[in-house]
């Protein structure tokens, strides 16, 4: 009986400890742990912001839209909060390839969506 209980608890623990590697958390975005330091293009942008003393006016947000993750790098002096939107590989998002409805939905997700995580500033 004890062996069955142990096996059942072990299986339950293993199942609950599994994580979705594509999930979106403060420490995991674009399938990378610590994206601010482990995505080379994003690290370069943050290093540049620090060098220019702009890290205190920079916000980095990871968001998900239609199963894809994106990263928005926003500086307070920018007039467009979704203009610096990147794919996980660091390429700017080309909105012209999207339908008008998808463009509007993506902009809404980026600016006020539910599934997003602030990567910087650290809180």
Give the pair of three-digit tokens for residue 55.
């890290």
**Spatial CB neighbours of 68, under 8 Å, sequence gap ≥ 6:** 87, 88
Domain spans, the chain: 21-120
The DSSP 8-state label assigned to residue 7 in this structure reads H
The DSSP 8-state label assigned to residue 65 in this structure reads E
Its pTM stands at 0.74
pLDDT in tens, 68-91: 999 999 988 877 766 799 999 999
Residue-level pLDDT at 105: 92
Residue-level pLDDT at 89: 96
């Amino acid at each position: 009986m004890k062996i069955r209980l142990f096996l059942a608890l072990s299986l339950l623990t293993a199942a609950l400890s599994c994580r979705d590697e594509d999930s979106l958390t403060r420490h995991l975005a674009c399938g990378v742990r610590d994206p601010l330091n482990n995505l080379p293009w994003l690290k370069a942008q943050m290093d540049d912001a620090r060098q220019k003393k702009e890290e205190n006016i920079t916000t980095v947000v990871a968001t998900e839209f239609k199963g894809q993750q994106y990263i928005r790098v926003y500086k307070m002096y920018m007039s467009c909060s979704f203009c610096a939107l990147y794919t996980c590989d660091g390429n700017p998002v080309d909105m012209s390839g999207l339908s008008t409805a998808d463009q509007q939905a993506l902009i809404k997700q980026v600016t006020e969506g539910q599934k997003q995580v602030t990567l910087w500033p650290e809180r």
